[in-house]
């Protein structure tokens, strides 16, 4: 990995170090901004450039194809060599694929399943020894669909259910080592996630979460006493409603098949 793949913005003596995936937009960007404001040093794994959040922390942008296991391992090894310690892993990168299951392209399904489930599992494996040394935390961003039946989103729901179950099982495995593992399951959140889909959150402010609210949930977990692990947080908007995109128009409906 060349030095050009690391775009560093230095500041003085950040207190703790985190790795965040999906840091270039949406929930991942909000989490990165929150950590920087708290003075963290954040290694942001992302394939594209993104606006630097303001704060007193230190941002190191790491260009990495998460779906390339060798590149992923190389990036993590370099981070662990550079960082004095690793205190937090946030797995936030993910995509959604929706539609009748028989109509979805196998290659698209494979990409989604790998990014949503395989990559977080691999990253936990690659960072676990360092997190045990620091008694750090893992926070996996899943989805409310992990607990529900999702019509036309069964593979997506399966990937998120797998991530939630993995998170809880890993906690049981590593809790005696002092590592905390938490899973956050947000409902509809106003991000770029819906740009390529045929639906989006309703325009009513009460119909969707904001990325910063998910970041607040991460902060809540980080601020918990050392003897307490927040195993799972499910975040729901007050109103459960989406709007379909049909020929440039918006058609409101209740989100009976939540995403």
Ramachandran area for residue 109 (φ above 0: left; ψ -120 to 50: alpha; else beta): alpha
Q: What are phi and psi of 31, to 5 degrees?
A: -65, -45
Angle at 227 between CA 126 and CA 13, to 5 degrees: 60
Q: What is the CA radius of gyration of the chain?
A: 18
Q: Which of 160, 164, 182, 194 is catalytic?
A: 160
C-alpha closest to that of 212 among 32, 38, 92: 32
Q: Which of 142, 143, 159, 182 is catalytic?
A: 142
C-alpha closest to that of 65 among 108, 16, 133, 111: 111
Q: Which of 38, 63, 156, 164 is catalytic?
A: 156
Report how far residue 116's alpha carbon sits from residue 69's, in angstroms, rounded to the nearest whole number: 14
Residues in CB range of 28: below 8 A, 6 or more apart = 20, 21, 22, 44, 46, 90, 92, 93, 141
Report how far residue 129's alpha carbon sits from residue 118's, in angstroms, rounded to the nearest whole number: 19
Report how far residue 186's alpha carbon sits from residue 194's, in angstroms, rounded to the nearest whole number: 14
Query: Any catalytic annotation for residue 160?
Result: yes
Helix (H, G, I), strand (E, B), or coil: what is residue 99? coil
Query: Any catalytic annotation for residue 43?
Result: no
Query: Any catalytic annotation for residue 41?
Result: no
Enter the DSSP assignment of 204: S
Write b or e for each residue in 144-153: b if 16 or more Cβ atoms lie within 10 A of its Cβ, otherwise e.
Answer: bbbebebebb
C-alpha closest to that of 183 among 170, 173, 201: 170
Q: What residues are annotated to the active site?
A: 142, 156, 160
């Amino acid at each position: 990995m060349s030095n050009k793949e690391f775009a560093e913005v230095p500041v003085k003596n950040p207190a703790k170090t985190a790795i965040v995936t999906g840091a270039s937009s949406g929930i991942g960007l909000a989490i990165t901004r929150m950590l920087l404001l708290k003075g963290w040093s954040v290694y942001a794994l992302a394939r594209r450039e993104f606006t630097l959040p303001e704060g007193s922390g230190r941002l190191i942008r790491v260009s990495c194809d998460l779906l390339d296991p060798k590149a992923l391992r190389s990036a993590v090894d370099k981070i662990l060599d550079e960082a004095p310690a690793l205190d937090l892993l946030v797995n936030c990168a993910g995509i959604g694929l929706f539609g009748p299951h028989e109509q979805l392209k196998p290659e698209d399904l494979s990409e989604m399943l790998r990014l949503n489930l395989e990559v977080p599992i691999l990253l936990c494996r690659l960072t676990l020894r360092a997190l045990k040394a620091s008694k750090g935390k893992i926070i996996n961003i899943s989805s409310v669909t992990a607990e529900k039946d999702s019509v036309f989103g069964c593979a997506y729901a399966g990937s998120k259910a797998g991530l939630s179950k993995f998170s809880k099982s890993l906690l049981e495995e590593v809790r005696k080592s002092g590592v905390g593992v938490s899973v956050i399951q947000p409902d509809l959140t106003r991000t770029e996630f819906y740009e390529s889909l045929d639906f989006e959150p309703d325009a009513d402010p009460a119909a969707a979460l904001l990325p910063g609210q998910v970041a607040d949930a991460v902060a809540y977990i980080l601020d918990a006493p050392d003897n307490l692990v927040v195993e799972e947080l499910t975040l729901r908007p007050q109103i459960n409603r989406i709007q379909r995109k049909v020929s440039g128009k918006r058609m409101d409906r209740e989100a009976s098949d939540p995403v």
